[in-house]
Amino acid sequence: MRTASPSTPRPSRTLALLAVAAGLVLTTSGCGGSAAASEDDTFVFATGKDISCLDPHVNGDMPQASIAANYLDSLVSQDSEGAIHPWLATDWSVSEDGLTYTFTVRDDVWFTDGTKLTAEAVKANLDHMVDPDTQSGTAGGYLKPYVGTEVVDETTAVVTLNRPYAAFLEVLAQPFLGIESPEALKRPQAENCNAPVGTGPYKIVDYVPQSRVSLVRNEDYNSAPPYAQHEGPAHIEKIEWRIVPEDSTRYGLLRAGQVDALDLMPSVHFDEAEADPNVELILQDRPGNPTNLILNTTRAPFDDVDVRKAFLRSAYVDAGINSVYFGTVTRAGGPLSSTTGFYSPDFEHVYDPDPDEAARLLDAAGWTERDDEGYRVKDGERLTVHFPYTPGAWPTAHQALVTQIQATAKKAGFEVLIENGDGATVSELGNNFAYDLRADYWNTNTADVLRIVFSSEYTESAGFVPNGSGFRNPELDGILNDALATDDPAEREDLYYQAQQIVSDNALQLPLYNQASQVALRSDRYANLTLEPSLSLPYLYDVTAVDSE
């Protein structure tokens, strides 16, 4: 069975459509390997990426948010239509000038260390996210307008911003901004990274980096979000979140019944999984800035817009995606994923491959000669593009895709040097703009991602540099800030269209494909694994063993 988003079509398939919360269901046939759910009631989830820190306030990458969605609750929740609903906050009000948010929090919720949820916890968490020592690239990045929180009484917190922020409630719904115990936050960061404390359906028991995270059910859980299918404690007693980086190994463990679910479903095994009656594929494109190659405008050769446009024209992305992803991802065409609010399709084909146009642009930029290896040359310098890359941070198919782009760019005269390095080395290069190309994406549930990824405000490092292009444009900055200052949908749509136009005109990135949750579940053993709506992350609270339904 396949649970899929309408935005992730595989045209060669026969689709039997049945509406469900995160997408559509496709029933498949074939295969075996059936086994009963684990006798000790442990659900094993295999993930392809290690987790740098279990506290999603720190740094802030998707592996952190994925697991945090299962032990942290948020102030508010977001449904699949984008509407905001109460969660730990029962209600809120916003001042007329948009600078003050008054939240009322529940008075009957406790963190798993015994600390009661109060307005003081709201203040402690928001302060923690913006503290420079936290190095919060994501949560802290979202909270740049944050000034502070006043605790009025035990259940009332007044949050002040320095400018209107129409996306504030949307980002508060994300696991990156999950609420942690204020007592636990007082511990050294390394200690909190190993075992953050939330109010969620599970609590962390043990963390072995590069191996596993063990979680156990919170027996006192009473704060399920509106999108949950039940209330009270989770159905499954224990979770083992296992780190299995190698794609085929991870899938082999699922087939053998040694894990119950996995993420980053390998594209090469999609057909096999779809033919297996014991496997359900749960698929959903994520909102935000899609997987892309971002071009560094702060140094040559990509400080020249014509050279940037020529590079985009030289890349045969569709052919690469078809050959290495086998139609399992959706081609991205602009700076917003197609599942993001205010996305416009007008920018999907602006830079379709065109060798003649690429040649014309390079000629106009002065790269008129070629050396004996076919690379363009100007003033005796080869047209070289440095691309630091961490293979382990990306799926095998992504690695193959960038290699194909390297080959097609060579035909236009670009020497693309894919320089493999570990995560720390590549991150350091990124923080110092010591690259020409950077593999990137930013998952978020708001079009305000354009401000984070492209505005001047985000060209400084906070653990990492969100604006990897280094692009600084006062007109774009003004448009993106104006979009946050209004809650009128028509005005926001117009402003975000203008922003997408500027990004496109300046050729700041090569869009590749929409980021997606691609989860496989042993459906002969378990059911009801869903995706939380804000970022389409695996949500295990409702999972049940099939023999207990």
Looking at the fold, whether 266 and 294 belong to one and the same domain comes out as no
Dihedral in degrees, nearest 10, Cα atoms 310, 311, 313, 317: 180
Among all chains, which residue has been given the structure tokens 């508010």? 76
Q: Specify if 20 maps to a domain.
A: no
Q: How confident is the model at residue 1 (pLDDT cuts 50, 70, 90)?
A: low
Among all chains, which residue has been given the structure tokens 């936050």? 185
431 CB contacts (<8 Å, ≥6 apart)? Answer: 461, 464, 465
Strand partners, 532: 537
Looking at the fold, whether 233 and 96 belong to one and the same domain comes out as yes
Looking at the fold, whether 134 and 165 belong to one and the same domain comes out as yes
Q: How confident is the model at residue 30 (pLDDT cuts 50, 70, 90)?
A: very low
In terms of Cα–Cα distance, which of 46, 2, 32, 44 is closest to 256? Answer: 32
| Number of residues that this document lists for the chain | 549
- Are 214 and 238 in contact by the 8 Å Cβ rule? The answer is yes
Q: Specify if 190 maps to a domain.
A: yes
Looking at the fold, whether 367 and 250 belong to one and the same domain comes out as no
**pLDDT at position 258 over 90:** yes
Q: Please, where are the H alpha helices in 97-149?
A: 119-130, 139-142
pLDDT digits over 133-171, tens only? 999 989 999 999 999 999 999 999 999 999 999 999 999
Q: Specify if 27 maps to a domain.
A: no
Strand ranges, E, within 364-447: 369-370, 376-378, 381-382, 384-389, 415-420, 437-443
**Using CA of residue 419, residue 423, residue 424, residue 428, what is the dihedral sign?**
positive
Query: What is residue 213's predicted lDDT score, i.e. its pLDDT?
Result: 98
Q: What average pLDDT does range 61-79 have in this prediction?
A: 97
The whole-angstrom separation of Cα 527 and Cα 30 is 19
Looking at the fold, whether 136 and 217 belong to one and the same domain comes out as yes
- Are 453 and 446 in contact by the 8 Å Cβ rule? The answer is no
**pLDDT at position 183 over 80:** yes
Strand partners, 215: 204, 239
Q: How confident is the model at residue 280 (pLDDT cuts 50, 70, 90)?
A: very high
Q: What average pLDDT does range 231-248 have in this prediction?
A: 97
Helix (H, G, I), strand (E, B) or coil at 180: coil
Query: What is residue 22's predicted lDDT score, i.e. its pLDDT?
Result: 31
**pLDDT at position 423 over 60:** yes
pLDDT digits over 365-392, tens only? 999 999 999 999 999 999 999 999 999 8
Q: Specify if 139 maps to a domain.
A: yes
Give percent of the chain above pLDDT 90.
89
The whole-angstrom separation of Cα 282 and Cα 26 is 10
Q: What average pLDDT does range 423-442 have in this prediction?
A: 95
Query: Does the N-terminal peptide bond of residue 301 adopt cis geometry, omega within 30 degrees of 0?
Result: yes
Helix axis angle, 396-412 relative to 305-314, nearest 10°?
120
Joined together, the tokens standing for residue 533 give: 């709506």
Strand ranges, E, within 73-197: 76-78, 84-86, 89-94, 100-105, 146-153, 156-161
Q: Which H helix or E strand runs over 504? A: helix 489-505
CB atoms within 10 A of CB 73: 24
What's the CATH number where 90 sits?
A: 3.40.190.10
Q: How confident is the model at residue 403 (pLDDT cuts 50, 70, 90)?
A: very high
**pLDDT at position 24 over 70:** no
Among all chains, which residue has been given the structure tokens 């642009």? 361
Q: How confident is the model at residue 112 (pLDDT cuts 50, 70, 90)?
A: very high
**pLDDT at position 27 over 60:** no
In terms of Cα–Cα distance, which of 87, 116, 108 is closest to 183? Answer: 116
Query: What is residue 178's predicted lDDT score, i.e. its pLDDT?
Result: 99
Q: Specify if 19 maps to a domain.
A: no
Q: Specify if 16 maps to a domain.
A: no
Q: Which H helix or E strand runs over 537? A: strand 537-539
pLDDT digits over 480-512, tens only? 999 999 999 999 999 999 999 999 999 999 999
- The number of distinct structural domains making up the chain is 2
What's the CATH number where 448 sits?
A: 3.10.105.10
Query: What is residue 2's predicted lDDT score, i.e. its pLDDT?
Result: 59
In terms of Cα–Cα distance, which of 372, 376, 369 is closest to 409? Answer: 376
Among all chains, which residue has been given the structure tokens 């203008």? 498
User: Which letter, b or e, does each residue of 358-372 get, where b requires 16 or more Cβ atoms within 10 Å of its Cβ?
Assistant: bbebbeebebeeeee
Query: What is residue 14's predicted lDDT score, i.e. its pLDDT?
Result: 23
The whole-angstrom separation of Cα 226 and Cα 277 is 31
Q: What range does the domain containing 321 cover?
A: 288-514
Among all chains, which residue has been given the structure tokens 């990458």? 61
Looking at the fold, whether 279 and 293 belong to one and the same domain comes out as no
Statement: the pTM of the whole predicted model exceeds 0.95: no
Q: Specify if 64 maps to a domain.
A: yes
**pLDDT at position 128 over 60:** yes
Looking at the fold, whether 225 and 331 belong to one and the same domain comes out as no
Looking at the fold, whether 292 and 209 belong to one and the same domain comes out as no
The whole-angstrom separation of Cα 411 and Cα 423 is 30
Q: How confident is the model at residue 548 (pLDDT cuts 50, 70, 90)?
A: low
Q: Please, where are the H alpha helices in 19-173?
A: 62-68, 119-130, 139-142, 168-172
Looking at the fold, whether 252 and 330 belong to one and the same domain comes out as no
Among all chains, which residue has been given the structure tokens 């899938």? 251
Q: Please, where are the H alpha helices in 25-181?
A: 62-68, 119-130, 139-142, 168-172
Looking at the fold, whether 394 and 523 belong to one and the same domain comes out as no
Looking at the fold, whether 146 and 132 belong to one and the same domain comes out as yes
The whole-angstrom separation of Cα 502 and Cα 523 is 46
Average pLDDT taken over every residue of the chain: 92
Higher-confidence residue: 392 or 312?
312
Looking at the fold, whether 262 and 306 belong to one and the same domain comes out as no
- Are 219 and 233 in contact by the 8 Å Cβ rule? The answer is yes
Q: What average pLDDT does range 48-75 have in this prediction?
A: 96
Q: Specify if 32 maps to a domain.
A: no
Phi-psi domain of 82 (left: phi exceeds 0; alpha: psi -120 through 50; beta: other):
left
Q: How confident is the model at residue 449 (pLDDT cuts 50, 70, 90)?
A: very high
